[in-house]
């Protein structure tokens, strides 16, 4: 009798149980999470991203020489507005009473681009991570829209959650 393969010793530890997705029901269908019985807590989230562009496009933004107007000012307002409309854009998000939205855009000459940081705060039964991510994304898309006549090859990248606080899952920070 030939041995065709070596037997592995049985592991005494079990594989971790896969985490259940919160927005999928038992039938595997997408569904909105019922947060009605959760206790409202102070929630905060911060997201960031960036857009790289040609030096000509960046100089035009710095000189406020874009025909459509003040790129950074309009992008800031667009990000704030977008955060307030997140539930209209992301199908399973709850509409939230946001108490604060801050969007900061900074020119980065080393990057040859613009950095954005968006933070959102509320007291609610669910978090504001999506609102912060939407604010950062739409602010960057607005920079693109207003500057595309100079540079259609701009690259939006590294949009990500930096931190969140509050709620049952606790605080989290990106590494």
Q: Which residues are catalytic?
A: 145
**Phi-psi region at 81: left, alpha or beta (left = phi > 0; alpha = psi -120 to 50):** alpha
DSSP string, 95-143: P--EEEEEEEEEEETTTTEEEEEEEEEEEESS--HHHHHHHHHHHHHHH
Count of helices and strands (H, E) across the chain: 4, 5
What element of type H or E holds 172? strand 172-173
Q: Give burial (CB, 10 Å; 0-12/13-18/19+) of 28.
A: exposed
């Amino acid at each position: 009798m030939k041995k065709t393969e070596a037997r592995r010793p049985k592991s005494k530890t079990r594989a971790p149980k896969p985490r259940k997705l919160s927005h999928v029901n038992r039938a595997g269908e997408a569904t909105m999470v019922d947060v009605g019985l959760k206790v409202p807590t102070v929630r905060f989230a911060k997201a960031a991203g960036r857009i790289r562009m040609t030096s000509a496009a960046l100089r035009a933004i710095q000189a406020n020489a874009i025909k459509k107007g003040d790129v950074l000012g309009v992008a800031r307002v667009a990000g704030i507005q977008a955060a307030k409309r997140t539930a209209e854009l992301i199908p399973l998000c709850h509409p939230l009473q946001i108490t604060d939205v801050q969007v900061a855009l900074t020119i980065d000459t080393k990057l040859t681009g613009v950095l954005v940081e968006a933070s959102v705060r509320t007291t609610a039964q669910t978090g504001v991570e999506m609102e912060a991510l939407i604010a950062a994304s739409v602010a960057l898309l607005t920079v693109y829209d207003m500057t595309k006549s100079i540079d259609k090859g701009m690259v939006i990248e590294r949009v990500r959650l930096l931190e969140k606080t509050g709620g049952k899952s606790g605080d989290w920070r990106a590494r």
